Structure 1
Amino acid sequence: MAEKQHQTLVDRVFESIFDLLLTGEIPLGGVVNEAALAERFQVSRGPVREAVKRLQGRQLVVKEPYLKARVVDLSVADMIQIFQLREAVEGMSVRLATQVMSDAEMDALVEDFSTARASRDGPALDVHVRIADGCGNARIRYLLCEELYYLLRLYRARSGKVPGRREDAFSEHWQILRAMKARDADLAESLMRAHIARATRALHDLLEARGEDATAQSEKRKTG
């Protein structure tokens, strides 16, 4: 029982830290201060340390010997490679899901999406995860829902901060679901690939602008 309670505490701390990453309160490349986090969440250092190790395992935090843990900050090139992989895998994921999901599962997905869209409660429904869950391919599901899940969520959250991108994504998701309902696997895959390609461009532009801003501030400090 004690071990289960401890595990539940680590889970809670992990999710709390991840929320700080999603909101940007701990920015990309930012220091993950275990002592400060333990004080903030009113827990001992142990659960925080274990949660940070889990973040490392999820490729969200990097920690070199004798250096502080930091949030991952992928280069633009690395990010593009990950999203290119995502475009290919999610294209196949939605193709398979369109073919194998039952009518009841499809209806439930559409209904849940409509509810989430009406409330603008995007995080309440992850369309990509639901599609991967329903695609019938265990390896695709593992890649999208476990191995890359948190890293993709972190960078998807960044692309969602581009003005207008959130509403565009809702509309793109709806078009994908309509194609799935019609059992048009070719169209569903094409729409999913286009959706992720747009998200990639939005994130690319955002990271490029952030890099340019950082360079400009650095140059300003040098000449100031």
Structure 2
Amino acid sequence: MSINSLQASKQDTLSEHVFEQIKEDIITGVIPQGQKIGEADLAKSYHISRGPLREALQKLESIHLVDRRPHSGSRVITLDSTMMRDVYQMREAMEGFATRLACIAMSQADIDNLYRLLEKHESSIKRSEGQRYFQKEGDLDFHYYIFSKCQNQWLIDYLNNKLYQVLRMCRHRTSQMPFRVEPALHDHYAIVDAVNNRDPELAEILMRRHISGAWKMVENLLNQEENKE
């Protein structure tokens, strides 16, 4: 491998690493919503040069966590009530249908893995004394696991590349509502039971109700916050 190829590979690795770091910091609120992206400050904070950082920021823009506008630079997205409503509406429609398809497509081994995943989630909730239900990314995420098994690549790609990280950002908020934790886990078990019974219509209905219920709670919270201001 040439020196130039080694340097390019090293830069790609650095870019991917800082992309993952900044992504999680945005989703969990370490980097606040609406914050302006200053490349010099970020490069210093994450101990990286401008080149790999710019590549990371381009990836963050492509998954809609960073918004770049002419003449005003880049900012972390702000989850206002309109954006969150739109995201939850998209979730309800697309994840509901993905669940219907997954109900037909999933193997019994997939379903058994899903039950085991929920058992791990239940243990995690108990360790938090019922205060939070925040799921890790990818196959450790109940919603991701289901839509990734729907066997419709267009639907998977759209949910994964366009919505998933914004969804995680929204859900990070609801995961810390104690009154939402147990109902969410109960809903998840009911959805898997419907999938296990190979009832695609019920599985879709339950997923849509689950997401719609989450939005109603978020909407109430947003209204309360607006009334306090």
- Give yes or no for TM over 0.5: yes
- Secondary structure (helix, strand or coil) at the match of 1:69 reads strand
Shift of 1:74: 4.1
State how far apart, in whole Å, the 2-side matches of 1:62 and 1:72 are: 6
| 48, 51, 55: which one aligns with 2:56 | 51
Q: Which amino acid aligns with 1:129?
A: Y
Identify the residue that residue 135 of structure 1 maps to in structure 2.
Answer: 150
Q: Which has the higher contact order (CA 8 A, sep 6+)?
A: 2
Alpha carbon RMSD of aligned pairs, Å? 1.9
Q: Which amino acid aligns with 1:80?
A: R
**2:202 paired with 1:202:** no
Instruction: Write out the 4+ residue segments of structure 1 that deviate beyond 6 Å after TM superposition.
Output: none
Q: 1:15-62, CA deviations, whole angstroms, 9 ceiling, x for partnerless residues?
A: 111111122122221222322222222111222222112211211111
Structure 1 residues 53-62 or 163-172, which shifts more? 163-172
Q: Is the 8 A contact 1:76 1:207 kept in 2?
A: yes
Identify the residue that residue 160 of structure 2 maps to in structure 1.
Answer: 145
State how far apart, in whole Å, the 2-side matches of 1:61 and 1:155 are: 15
Q: Is the 8 A contact 2:65 2:76 kept in 1?
A: yes
Identify the residue that residue 80 of structure 1 maps to in structure 2.
Answer: 85
Task: Report the count of equivalent residues.
Answer: 214
Q: Is the 8 A contact 1:26 1:32 kept in 2?
A: no
Structure 1 residues 193-202 or 35-44, which shifts more? 35-44
**Structure 2 spans left out of the alignment, 5+ residues:** 1-5, 126-133
Q: Is the 8 A contact 2:28 2:169 kept in 1?
A: no
Shift of 1:160: 2.1
Identify the residue that residue 219 of structure 1 maps to in structure 2.
Answer: none
Provide closer, same or farther for how the CA distance between residues 108 and 64 of structure 1 changes in structure 2, counting only shifts above 3 A.
same
Q: Which amino acid aligns with 1:135?
A: C
Identify the residue that residue 221 of structure 1 maps to in structure 2.
Answer: none
| 157, 174, 192: which one aligns with 2:189 | 174
**2:167 paired with 1:162:** no
Q: How do residues 1-224 of structure 1 correspond to structure 2 at under 5 angstroms?
A: 1-120=6-125, 122-123=135-136, 125-213=140-228, 216=229
- Secondary structure (helix, strand or coil) at the match of 1:198 reads helix
Percent identical among aligned pairs is 36
Q: Is the 8 A contact 1:59 1:72 kept in 2?
A: yes
**Structure 1 spans left out of the alignment, 5+ residues:** 217-224
- Secondary structure (helix, strand or coil) at the match of 1:30 reads coil
TM-score when normalising by structure 1? 0.86
Shift of 1:84: 1.0
